[in-house]
């Protein structure tokens, strides 16, 4: 039995959900998100909360039960508070700045890297060495942050590169004479 799936997803004030068949649409102060569940589960609206129940006792139905409940909870979280990833840049001369819808990164290459920010995500640079990625879609926010990090991953000897704010980089010792 899914322990996560048993809990109903509460809908805070200002958030409305509408279910039609296997798809759910959640509207909130930050926008609208929708999700289509598989046929293995049933979605139901119940007095200010969304309930997910499995159809049958098959292994796939039990797997989808918890996963669909987590997806619905992410929809509600996205339209109320949103999702945020913070990146740090460390290295001499490494910096970032926003120019319209393009993130300009100076990362030690012979040229600046121009990263086009996709729709649905807001990228800001509070400092030259900090990047903040925000949006209502958790998957898109994480993917954009990973794509930015991929331009210069942190290396283990000096720790230079782009890393997540709470990420720990295991440091290696260099050569000894």
Q: Which of 21, 49, 80 is the last residue of a domain?
A: 80
Pick from 87, 113, 80, 119: nearest CA to 101:
119
Same domain, 93 and 110: yes
* pLDDT surpasses 90 at 147: yes
Residue at 174 is within a domain: no
pTM for the whole structure: 0.87
CATH code, domain carrying 27 = 3.90.930.12
Task: Give the orientation angle of helix 138-150 with respect to helix 59-80, to 10 degrees.
Answer: 80
Residue at 173 is within a domain: no
How do residues 68-126 score in pLDDT, each as one tens digit? 999 999 999 999 999 999 999 999 999 999 999 999 999 999 999 999 999 999 999 99
Same domain, 94 and 159: yes
* pLDDT surpasses 80 at 32: yes
pLDDT of residue 2: 67
pLDDT tier at 1, thresholds 50, 70, 90: low
């Amino acid at each position: 039995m899914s322990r996560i799936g048993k809990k109903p997803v509460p809908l805070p004030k200002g958030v409305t959900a509408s279910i039609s068949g296997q798809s759910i649409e959640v509207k909130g102060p930050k926008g609208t998100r929708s999700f289509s569940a598989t046929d293995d589960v049933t979605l139901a609206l119940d007095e200010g909360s969304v309930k997910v129940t499995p159809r049958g006792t098959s292994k796939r139905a039990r797997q989808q039960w918890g996963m669909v409940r987590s997806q619905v909870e992410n929809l509600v979280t996205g339209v109320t508070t949103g999702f945020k990833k913070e990146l740090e840049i460390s290295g001499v001369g490494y910096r970032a700045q926003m120019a319209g819808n393009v993130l300009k990164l100076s990362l030690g290459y012979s040229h600046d890297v121009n990263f086009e920010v996709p729709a649905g995500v807001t990228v800001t640079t509070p400092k030259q060495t900090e990047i903040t990625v925000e949006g209502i879609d958790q998957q898109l926010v994480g993917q954009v942050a990973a794509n930015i990090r991929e331009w210069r991953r942190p290396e283990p000897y000096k720790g230079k590169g782009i890393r997540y704010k709470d990420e720990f980089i295991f440091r290696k010792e260099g050569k000894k004479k």
